[in-house]
């Protein structure tokens, strides 16, 4: 008899729990089976008519491999989304924590078939203060994400997270929209006011200098609007108050791009 490499328990010859990840045989207490995919087969009924039947694939994985997979997945999740606020208690100092839940099951249903339920690995985002879970992402046993209706995010938490992410890379309007969807209307309002003041100040300083240059040089610079793709003609004939506005759709032009184009010629 062999010893279980995880707990040292004796493993009989009849136990065939080999980990799908590392290939090592473990005792029944140190390995679990989780969903690894969905398959289908076509059969014929008693009258010879074909029908499709779906079924689940399950694979064994040992506890050490689950621990390694959890470390990898949670580290990646935190790097992708390090922000968040708990919708229950409002804690937002360091709210986004991740962990594996090993007791989750997902129900699979297909038209004209009997459904079935299989155990799945589940990545949870939770509040470290009140322990409320506000996101669930299911994984196949090999670590690839399951994309289906069982995945769940708390809308307020998700929008707050996306707002913080957008704000961190200065996508101010996107951040304001997500704050608004999260119900943080005052935060959204203040962010838009701050962004508007910065843009107005920036244009006031530079636009007259650029207009003078375009008038003196008699240059016309074509610029494609990022929204409607119309060709905007940047020249000395433009009005200072609407210099950075597309005359076709009213979209604000990318101020920094326009400035860089003109500055390169000055």
DSSP-assigned letters across all residues of 23-83: --B--TTSEEEEEEEEEEEEEE-TTS-EEEEEEEEEEEEEHHHHHHHHHHHHHHHHHH---
Query: Same domain, yes or no, for 61 and 176?
Result: yes
Examine the domain organization and report whether 173 and 215 are in the same domain. Answer: no
pLDDT of 184 above 60: yes
Residue 194 resides in a domain: no
Q: Are residues 108 and 230 in the same domain?
A: no
User: What pLDDT sits at residue 200?
Assistant: 47
Q: What pLDDT is attached to residue 113? A: 86
CB proximity list for 32: less than 8 A, separation 6 or greater: 60, 61, 63, 66, 102, 119
Looking at the fold, whether 253 and 164 belong to one and the same domain comes out as no
Please give the Cα distance from 47 to 50 (Å, whole number): 9
Has residue 266 got a pLDDT over 70?
no
The confidence score (pLDDT) of residue 15 equals 55
Please indicate, yes or no, whether residues 31 and 91 belong to a single structural domain of this protein: yes
pLDDT at res. 105:
95
| In-domain check, residue 112 | yes
pLDDT at 204: 47
Same domain, 30 and 91: yes
Going by C-beta distance under 8 Å and a sequence separation of 6 or more, which residues neighbour residue 138?
A: 104, 106, 120, 121, 122, 123, 145, 146, 148, 150, 151
pLDDT at 201: 47
User: Residue 197 pLDDT more than 80?
Assistant: no
Is residue 259, in this structure, part of any structural domain at all?
A: yes
Percent of the chain exceeding pLDDT 70 equals: 88
Cβ-based neighbours of 90, under 8 Å, separated by 6 or more: none
Q: Check whether residue 27 and residue 112 sit in a common domain.
A: yes
Q: Do residues 65 and 97 lie in contact, with contact meaning Cβ atoms separated by under 8 Å?
A: no
* 165-172 mean pLDDT: 85
Task: Give yes or no: residues 128 and 259 share one domain.
Answer: no
For the chain, give the number of residues: 266
pLDDT of the residue at 259: 67
Strand order of the β-sheet with 152-153 is 97-108, 116-126, 133-139, 152-153
Distances (CA, A) of 118 to 38, 58, 238: 10, 8, 65
User: Do residues 147 and 241 share a domain?
Assistant: no
Confidence (pLDDT) at 262:
66
Mean pLDDT calculated for residue range 189-197: 80
Whether 130 and 241 map to the same domain: the answer is: no
Number of separate domains in the chain: 2
Domain carrying residue 226: 206-263
Looking at the fold, whether 253 and 166 belong to one and the same domain comes out as no
Identify whether 226 is part of a domain. yes
DSSP 235: S
- pLDDT band at residue 167 using 50, 70 and 90 as cut-offs: confident
Task: Report which DSSP code applies to 155.
Answer: H
Q: Is 145 within a domain?
A: yes
How high is the pLDDT of residue 116? 93
Among 90-104, 132-146, 208-222, the range scoring the smallest mean pLDDT is 208-222
Whether residue 237 is found in the same domain as residue 151: no
222 has pLDDT over 60: yes
Mean pLDDT, residues 43-57: 90
């Amino acid at each position: 008899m062999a010893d279980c490499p995880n707990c040292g328990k004796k493993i009989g010859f009849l136990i065939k729990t080999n980990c799908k990840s590392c290939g090592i045989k473990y005792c029944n207490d140190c390995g679990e089976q989780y969903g690894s995919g969905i398959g289908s087969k076509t059969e014929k009924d008693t009258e010879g008519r074909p029908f499709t039947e779906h079924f689940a694939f399950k694979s064994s994985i040992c506890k050490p491999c689950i621990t390694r997979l959890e470390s990898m997945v949670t580290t990646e999740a935190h790097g992708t989304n390090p922000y968040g606020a708990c919708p229950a208690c409002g804690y937002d100092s360091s709210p986004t924590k991740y962990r594996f839940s090993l007791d989750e099951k997902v129900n699979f249903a297909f038209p004209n078939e009997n459904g079935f339920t299989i155990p799945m690995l589940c990545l949870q985002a939770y509040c470290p203060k009140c322990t409320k879970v506000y996101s669930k992402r299911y994984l196949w046993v090999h670590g690839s994400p399951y994309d289906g209706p069982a995945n769940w995010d708390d809308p307020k938490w998700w929008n707050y997270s996306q707002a913080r992410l957008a704000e961190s890379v200065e996508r101010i309007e996107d951040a304001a929209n997500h704050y608004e969807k999260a119900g943080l209307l005052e935060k959204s309002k203040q962010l838009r006011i701050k962004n508007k003041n910065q843009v107005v100040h920036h244009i006031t300083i530079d636009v007259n200098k650029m207009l003078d240059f375009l008038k003196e040089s008699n240059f016309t610079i074509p610029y494609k609007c990022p929204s409607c793709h119309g060709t905007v003609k940047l020249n000395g004939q433009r009005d200072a108050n609407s210099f950075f506005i597309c005359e076709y759709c009213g979209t604000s032009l990318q101020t920094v791009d326009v400035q860089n184009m003109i500055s390169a010629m000055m």
